[in-house]
Amino acid sequence: MKTKVGEFDLQEPQVIWGLDGYDGALLAVRRGAAVLGTIWLSIRAGQHIFTVADLVSAAKEGSLSESEISDPLSFPPISIVVCSRDRPVPLKRCLRALQGLIYPEFEVVVVDNASRGAATLEVVEDSGFRYVREDRPGLDWARNRGFHEAKYDLIAYVDDDAIVDRHWLGGWAQAFQDPDVKAATGLVLPWELETRAQHLFERYGGMGKGFVARTFRASEMTAEQTMDAHHLGVGANMAFRREALALCGPFDTALDVGTVSQGGGDVDMFHRVLIEGWALKYEPGALVWHQHRRDIASLKKQIYSNGRAFGVYLIKIWRAGQVPRRVVAAYAWRWVRSWLIFRTMRGILGRGKLPWWVPANEIWGASHSFYAYIQTYRCDRLLRARFGGGPVCGTGVPR
């Protein structure tokens, strides 16, 4: 099944063309800068366009948010950090979208994380943005380098396989109007749904967290909810005040892509922000579109990495001791039982919305978490000995 992905603005409605070869369409409905939700429309055989009447009718019938985005009281300058390694094609598309941003003042810092060739440098030079190189491999090393290179107090991170909306920075300005908010995450929608793997990833959960802005504080959450940080947002689209990263500690360089852990640096940081007593806001106005993996082999690898990384993250919380260990153990058991085993069994019995092998790959990844935890911190120590320490990571990390 192929699904056309696009958007429809109620303030400036236009027909949507290019439906040939598609079975349906997933459209983000917006009112100016505000993203109200998504609608799905089937495409009839021989249908070439959606008329404005078609789209307005579908939007009225859809379950859309009533949210409105008011203009921020201020537009603080923002530093944008893009970390990339040997992926010139998606990086070029990402930087092209950043060139189209509507915002008074911002900078873009591209951190080349130990690329083997010169293609990353060439793409950045063509864009006119600032290039820096981080030779220590690992996404969190690159994120920390971006933090130190950024010159503004608000720092937004976007992955190189994401395409920002033109109003993206306005969403961050809105999120940080509240001085208590030290970190924020934004809405992530699929860039395309052309393959079975991309559809399965969306059914698995995707990256979107809804269309209603929410503010999270540890004082209003249970200890388990603070660990459930993957429900707060994703590292592909996040932002921080400089003071949060300075006081909370930089990203844990033993975590995330490029390490044995294979992920977890983003949820670890979200959890640490909450534990410090600060507020984290989810702001759907900060929208990006993400290029999901196109083939099944890459999807399996991603799901495996998710299970492995989340297990490492939970072990780190256990070791840190800031959350009672009985709470961590109970949460981990429920994750394995209800989220992984239950969904696998439903898939085997043909009652789930996912094939059995999708959650089974996550179980397989989770089963390697203890090994990965030991190895990822061992490798991080060796990397520091080789290249030099640099910024140390956050509270509770064994060395």
Residues contacting 335, CB < 8 A, separation 6+: 310, 314
CATH 3.90.550.10, the chain: domain bounds: 78-296
Instruction: Report residue 393's pLDDT band, with 50, 70 and 90 as the boundaries.
Output: very low
Q: Which pLDDT belongs to residue 69?
A: 59
Q: Which residue has the tokens 């203890």?
A: 370
Mean pLDDT of the chain: 92
The three-state secondary structure class of 41 is: strand
CA-nearest of 372, 369, 196 to 299 is: 196
Q: Which residue has the tokens 């598609």?
A: 22
Cross-strand bridge partners of residue 40:
26
Predicted confidence (pLDDT) per residue in 207-232, tens digit:
999 999 999 999 999 999 999 999 99
Q: Which pLDDT belongs to residue 56?
A: 86
Predicted confidence (pLDDT) per residue in 246-298, tens digit:
998 899 999 999 999 999 999 999 999 999 999 999 999 999 999 999 999 99
pLDDT at residue 383 greater than cutoff 60: yes
Does domain 78-296 match CATH 3.90.550.10? yes
CA-nearest of 182, 155, 180 to 169 is: 155
pLDDT at residue 54 greater than cutoff 90: no
